Amino acid sequence: MPSRGSKQKKRATMRLVYIDFWSALKMSFLVSIIVAAITVVIGLLIWSALERFGLVAAASNFLEDIAGAQGADLVAGLTFPNVMTFTLVVALLEVIVVSALGAIFAALFNLAVHVVGGWKVTFGSD
């Protein structure tokens, strides 16, 4: 009867030689949607914190004291709608760029596999 310590470890070695282009595009799109939502939420939280602590008004008063009306004009455009519009534009661009990068990575991987022979992956139970 074999003892508990002499259990054999099972391992399976495989090579990843192809990434489906459309699957990579869909997966990177889903990841980018999640990251975009997090970006919008973080933008909203940062704006709320800055507004609650009065840092936007303090910056406006500080710049007005230093540069007069021109200093106040620098912060005049820093409103909630403008900040959220900027955040949404950044999130939209992020969705486009991350989705494209996922697809490009899959295409480059599929081209590189012909040169290097794939990516060796080992699965095992320890």
Q: Cβ of 109: how many Cβ atoms within 10 Å? A: 18
Per-residue model confidence as pLDDT tens digits over 52-95: 998 888 877 887 788 777 777 777 778 899 999 999 999 999 99
- Return the pLDDT at 13: 86
- Return the pLDDT at 2: 54
pTM of the model as a whole = 0.74
Per-residue model confidence as pLDDT tens digits over 4-45: 655 678 888 888 889 899 999 999 999 999 999 999 999 999
Alpha-carbon dihedral angle through residues 19, 28, 100, 41, given to the nearest 10 degrees = -170
- Return the pLDDT at 126: 66
- 94 token code pair: 């992020």
Tell me which of 97 and 71 has the higher pLDDT: 97
- Return the pLDDT at 125: 75
Got the DSSP string for 72-125?
A: HHHHHT--HHHHHHHHHHHHHHHHHHHHHHHHHHHHHHHHHHHHH--EEEEEEE
Name the DSSP class of 9: P
The vertex-54 CA angle with 53 and 56, nearest 5°, equals 125
